[in-house]
Amino acid sequence: MKKIFLNLLKQPITNSYLPNLKSKTLKKEFFYNLSMAFDTNNYLVSIKKPINPKNQYTDKYAHRASQSKTMNIAFRKIANKLRKRFKPKLTIEIGSNDGVFLKNFSKKEIIAVEPCKNLAKITNRQGYKTFDKFWNLNLSKKITYKKGKVDLIYSANTISHIPNLDEVFKAVSFCLNDHGVFVFEDPYIGSVIENNSYDQFYDEHVHLFSLIAISNVVKKNNLRIIDVEILETHGGSIRFYVTKIGSKFNTSKKVNNLFKSEIRKKLNNFTTYRLFSNRVKKSKKKLLSLLKKLKKDKKKVISYGATYKSATIFNYCNIGPDLISFVTDSTKNKQGKYTPGMHIPIKPPCDMVKEKVDFAFLGAWNFSKEIKHKEKKFLKSGGKFITHVPTVRSF
Ligand code: TMP
């Protein structure tokens, strides 16, 4: 049974940045109710009613994974690590975005899958064979008939976006060699609970994974988890290594250790999520009162990074241009547009000292190390950042 524990109210599609605020554009803006549910059968946390992926992953998809230096380094590291550990001859990447992982492989060694046609065009142009399709059993069969079975399937921040997980694993099972490995990483529900990072809940994050939940889902599909890692990326992610039941691999001790730790943290218990939901409500109150006080004190407040995560916060807390003057983002195709739902203008990164910014809300809090390093001048001149993780504060 799916039990709702958190209602994040009316939300837009996070990737739909508005080109202008004309009434025709505003009329077309799509909203849905974002409610998070806990499945008491397999312990998976998911959006109660996810929206149709065809409305999300279109040829207008704005996010470019290669925008962040942190992510470029992270993808290079994992590519090298996987190559060393599994020595794959042929690899598939599911959800290749603008090729940030692909570029660590030669064009013969890797096949890409990316449903956003604008992104698939980029990597096809670079010479990486990219299927501009959704990952499912049909596509897996098509790839296997053309190229044969593969040794490695890698996916970052994509599997949690797919409503039908059973189909994902069936498709993986079909095209994986007997000793092939499926490695995927997505935001970790354990980190969300720990950090109060409720902004990890948005339309694209259909599920938030735990080891307990995924072991239930893979078991159902005759697969097993051989290794697991907790990562710092995206404010806390989990990386799974999955193989066929009869593969040659031993199971790492880390799997059992994390399993025990999740049981200790009660990630398989509805009460954990209900208590978390109470903390989210408190966080909203605190953030709003801080921003209202800053407004009263005539401080200039902006937001740093037009992230999907911040769309959840702004819409849930009802934070608009009256409280945040503008949002800066280094992604060219977000600039000059407006944030979904709350319609805050998005500008290119600016000299925050010259612009007399007093406070910058960290929309991209998961990159705070990189940002603090970049904005030393702002901090030195007395500028402050605001964050809501793990509690609302400025620093
Ligand atoms: P993400 O958290 O969904 O990866 O999005 C991060 C967004 O933040 C992305 O649009 C790029 C933007 N960003 C900046 O504008 N400046 C920065 O220094 C960093 C690290 C990210």
Pocket of ligand 1 contains residue 330 by CB under 6 Å? yes
Q: What's residue 62's pLDDT?
A: 85
Q: Looking at ligand 1, which atom is closest to the CA of residue 305?
A: 8
Answer whether the bond into residue 390 is a cis peptide, omega within 30°: yes
Look at residues 36, 361, 52, 307 and name the one whose alpha carbon lies nearest to residue 198.
36
Give the burial string for 67-76 (b: 16+ CB within 10 Å, else e): bbebbbebbe
Look at residues 18, 47, 48 and name the one whose alpha carbon lies nearest to residue 30.
18
Q: Looking at ligand 1, which atom is closest to the CA of residue 234?
A: 2
Mean pLDDT value across residues 149-167: 98
Residue nearest to atom 13 of ligand 1 (CA): 305
Q: What's residue 2's pLDDT?
A: 96
Query: Among the listed ranges 75-79, 152-156, 183-187, 366-370, which one has the minimum average pLDDT value?
Result: 366-370
pLDDT digits (tens, 9 = 90+) for 66-90: 988 888 999 999 999 999 999 999 9
Write a three-state SS string for the chain. Answer: CEEEEEEEEEEECCCCCECCCCHHHHHHCCEEEEEEEEECCCCCEEECCCCCHHHCCCCCCCCCHHHCHHHHHHHHHHHHHHHHHHCCCCEEEECCCCCCCHHHCCCCCEEEECCCHHHHHHHHHCCCCEECCCCCHHHHHHHHHHHCCEEEEEEECCHHHCCCHHHHHHHHHHHEEEEEEEEEEEEEHHHHHHHCCHHHCCCCCCEEECHHHHHHHHHHCCEEEEEEEEECHHHCEEEEEEEECCCCCCCCHHHHHHHHHHHHCCCCCHHHHHHHHHHHHHHHHHHHHHHHHHHHCCCCEEEECCCHHHHHHHHHHCCCCCCCCCEECCCHHHCCCECCCCCCEEECCCCCCCCCCCEEEECCHHHHHHHHHHCHHHHHCCCEEEECCCCCEEC
pLDDT digits (tens, 9 = 90+) for 212-239: 999 999 999 889 999 999 999 899 999 9
Pocket of ligand 1 contains residue 367 by CB under 6 Å? yes
Residue nearest to atom 8 of ligand 1 (CA): 305
Does 344 have pLDDT greater than 90? yes
Pocket of ligand 1 contains residue 371 by CB under 6 Å? yes
Q: What's residue 321's pLDDT?
A: 98
Share of the chain above pLDDT 90, in %: 95
pLDDT digits (tens, 9 = 90+) for 276-308: 999 999 999 999 999 999 999 999 999 999 999
Q: Looking at ligand 1, which atom is closest to the CA of residue 328?
A: 15
Pocket of ligand 1 contains residue 308 by CB under 6 Å? yes
pTM for the model? 0.95
Q: What's residue 77's pLDDT?
A: 97
Mean pLDDT value across residues 162-186: 97
Q: Looking at ligand 1, which atom is closest to the CA of residue 371?
A: 18
Q: What's residue 365's pLDDT?
A: 97
Q: Looking at ligand 1, which atom is closest to the CA of residue 67?
A: 11
Q: Looking at ligand 1, which atom is closest to the CA of residue 65?
A: 4
Residue that is written with structure tokens 């280094």 in the block:
330
Mean pLDDT value across residues 194-209: 98
Q: What's residue 286's pLDDT?
A: 98
Pocket of ligand 1 contains residue 219 by CB under 6 Å? no
Pocket of ligand 1 contains residue 364 by CB under 6 Å? yes
* Distance from the alpha carbon of residue 307 to the mean position of ligand 1, in angstroms: 6
Q: What's residue 171's pLDDT?
A: 98
Mutation pick for ligand 1 pocket among 367, 374, 385 (CB with most ligand atoms within 8 Å): 367
Does 63 have pLDDT greater than 90? no
Pocket of ligand 1 contains residue 368 by CB under 6 Å? no
Residue that is written with structure tokens 């910058």 in the block:
360
Mutation pick for ligand 1 pocket among 61, 66, 68 (CB with most ligand atoms within 8 Å): 68
pLDDT confidence bin for 7, thresholds 50/70/90: very high
Pocket of ligand 1 contains residue 67 by CB under 6 Å? yes
User: Is residue 277 a contact partner of residue 5, using CB atoms and an 8 Å limit?
Assistant: yes
Please state whether beta strands 110-113 and 207-208 pair in parallel, antiparallel, or not at all (unpaired).
unpaired
Q: Looking at ligand 1, which atom is closest to the CA of residue 71?
A: 4
Q: What's residue 179's pLDDT?
A: 97
Residue nearest to atom 18 of ligand 1 (CA): 371
Residue nearest to atom 15 of ligand 1 (CA): 329
Pocket of ligand 1 contains residue 306 by CB under 6 Å? yes
- How far, CA to CA in Å, does 208 sit from each of 42, 90, 161, 321? 13, 29, 9, 30
Region of 305 please: left (phi>0), alpha (psi -120 to 50) or beta: left
pLDDT digits (tens, 9 = 90+) for 24-61: 999 999 999 999 999 999 999 999 999 999 989 999 89
Q: Which amino acid is at 340?
A: P
Q: Looking at ligand 1, which atom is closest to the CA of residue 367?
A: 20
